[in-house]
Amino acid sequence: MAEFFFNKLTKNNYAESCGVYPYYYLKKYHARVPKWEPVIRVMKEQGIDVSKSLIKKADKSKVKDADIIIVIMEKSMADKDLPNYIKKSKKFKLWEIRDIRGTSKFDYQYNKYKENRDKIFSLVVNLIKSLDGKSRFSPKLL
Q: What is 2-132's CATH superfamily? A: Response regulator (3.40.50.2300)
3-state SS of the chain is: CHHHHHHHHCCCCCCCCEECCCHHHHHHHCCCCCCCHHHHHHHHCCCCCCCCCCCEECCHHHHHHCCCEEEECCHHHHHHHCCHHHHCCCCEEEECCCCCCCCCCHHHHHHHHHHHHHHHHHHHHHHHHHHHCCCCCCCCCC
The values of phi and psi at residue 15, to 5°, are: -120, 145
d(C-alpha 43, C-alpha 117), whole Å: 8
Ranges 30-34, 102-106, 129-133: which has the least confidence: 30-34
The C-alpha atoms of residue 32 and residue 25 are separated, in whole angstroms, by 11
Q: What is the mean pLDDT of residues 13-40?
A: 66
Nearest partner of 127 among 78, 79, 69, judged by Cα: 69
Distance from chain centroid for Cα 89: 18
- Kindly report which listed range (18-27, 85-94, 119-128) carries the lowest average pLDDT score: 18-27
Q: What does the pLDDT read at residue 86? A: 93
What's the pLDDT tens digit per position in 34-89? 457 788 889 999 999 988 887 788 889 999 999 999 999 889 988 988 999 999 99
d(CA 2, CA 124): 6
